[in-house]
């Protein structure tokens, strides 16, 4: 079930503040792109605003080279995946059924490193951070397509009939789920 953000965050006009800890190496420019385009991806349900203070940010984005660790309010969580993975990991921190913070970890040496592929991976994780924390909370197309094929030239597709990305998109189930909490 989707997890809404705490009311104090939702009152900020549907905006998540995000700490940019990914502005290096392959990931350079990905944060800036998402900062300017995430609202369009979510049909203007959720905007992103950069927060330079890691403690004040709703979402903290970081690069991981195997194990990422983040501590919030005395709770430490680990994200474990290969530094060359074609995916990231989002850890939600919740209290009383509401999101209070989310940590997003992205691979330091992704196998697929075209900017479009990296934007796809980061956008996928940001939708998890927005409150669709489990794989049952969203659809299975768009940035949540099953078994994406990372193609030459930055294109991405999956099963026959799926639209080719970019541009990124969310399927109807995912939009509905976001609408239920935003």
For residue 159, pLDDT beyond 80: no
Residue numbers of the domain that contains 127: 7-138
Say if 34 falls within a structural domain: yes
What confidence score (pLDDT) does residue 12 get?
Answer: 65
Residue 81's CB: how many other CB atoms inside 10 A?
17
Say if 50 falls within a structural domain: yes
For residue 161, pLDDT beyond 70: no
What confidence score (pLDDT) does residue 60 get?
Answer: 98
Judged by average pLDDT, the poorest of 6-10, 73-77, 119-123, 169-173 is 6-10
Q: In a 10 Å sphere around its CB, with 0-12 CB exposed, 13-18 middle and 19+ buried, how is residue 84 labelled?
A: middle
What confidence score (pLDDT) does residue 11 get?
Answer: 60
Q: What are the tens digits of pLDDT across the range 87-128?
A: 999 999 999 999 999 999 999 999 888 999 999 999 999 999
Number of domains forming the structure of the chain: 1
User: pLDDT confidence of 74, banded at 50, 70, 90?
Assistant: very high
Mean pLDDT of 36-43: 94
Say if 116 falls within a structural domain: yes
Which residues are 17's β-sheet partners? 49
The CATH number of whichever domain residue 49 belongs to comes to 3.40.390.10
| Distant-in-sequence, close-in-space partners of 74: CB < 8 Å, separation ≥ 6 | none
Using DSSP, state whether 161 is helix, strand or coil: coil
């Amino acid at each position: 079930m989707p997890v809404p953000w705490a009311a104090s965050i939702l009152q900020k006009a549907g905006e998540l503040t995000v700490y940019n800890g990914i502005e290096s190496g392959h990931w350079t420019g990905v944060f800036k792109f998402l900062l300017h385009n995430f609202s369009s991806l979510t049909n203007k349900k959720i905007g992103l605003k950069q927060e330079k203070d890691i403690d004040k940010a709703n979402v903290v984005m970081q690069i991981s080279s195997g194990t990422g660790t983040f501590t919030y309010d005395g709770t430490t969580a680990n994200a474990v995946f290969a530094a060359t993975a074609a995916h990231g990991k989002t850890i939600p921190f919740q209290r009383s059924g509401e999101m209070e913070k989310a940590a997003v970890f992205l691979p330091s040496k992704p196998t697929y490193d075209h900017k479009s592929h990296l934007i796809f991976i980061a956008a996928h994780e940001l939708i998890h951070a927005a409150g669709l924390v489990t794989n049952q909370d969203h659809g299975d197309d768009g940035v949540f397509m099953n078994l994406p094929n990372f193609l030459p030239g930055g294109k991405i597709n999956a099963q026959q009939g799926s639209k080719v990305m970019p541009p990124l998109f969310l399927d109807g189930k995912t939009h509905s789920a976001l609408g239920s909490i935003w």
